[in-house]
A = this chain, B = another copy of it.
Amino acid sequence: MQDLDEPKYTISTAAKLMGISVPTLRMYEREGLIIPYKKSSNQRLYSDRDIERVMCIRKTINEDKINIEGIRRVLALIPCWAIVKCTAGDRSNCEFYSGHTKPCWMINHKKNICKNKDCRTCEVYRSFGNCASIKEKLKELLP
């Protein structure tokens, strides 16, 4: 058996696996498009699902021709409040709810429902993981 979420590849291995450079992989992270697992020593580890996500990002950049800023803006449209079921209080304590340029996981939530969540495993972050459109999520939420 295999666990798609198990962090097992170092950054150089993952880069080799996808035919890209290590700095590129770090860039995607800096830009908020991916959240790799981090050991206590700060070393990154990538799971198979992470690999899939990066391949999706690459496809969106290289084939669909959407730039990184554009991808980020699309991710910022994921209606997280409806997914994690925010209360009114959660919302008023959320920078993301009022902003619209960054995905929620790029924000340091301090005093709401997301405070103790690990974004890497959160359904919101994963909504874009397999390159399925966010629109499918919207159709689900807006019947």
Please tell me which one of the listed residues B66, B79, B82 contacts residue A69 in the complex, with CB atoms under 8 A apart. B66
CA A66 to CA B73, docked complex, whole Å: 8
- Per DSSP, chain A at the interface is helix
Q: Which residue of B lies closest to A137 (CB)?
A: B77
Q: In the complex, what residues of B have CB within 8 A of residue A77's CB?
A: 74, 77, 134-135, 138
A69-B70, A142-B79 known; A100 vs B64 contact (CB < 8 Å): no
Q: A82 vs B67: C-alpha distance in the bound complex, in angstroms?
A: 28
A76 in complex: contacting residue of B71, B79, B135, CB < 8 Å: B135
Question: Do the beta carbons of B70 and A73 come within 8 Å of each other?
Answer: yes
- A101 to B63, alpha carbons, bound, how many Å? 12
Q: Name the one of B64, B100, B136, B142 contacting A73, with C-beta atoms under 8 angstroms.
A: B64
Cβ-defined partner of A133 (8 Å) among B71, B74, B100, B141 = B100
Interface residues of A (CB under 8 A from B): 64-67, 69-71, 73-74, 76-77, 79, 81-82, 97, 100-101, 133-136, 138-139, 141-142
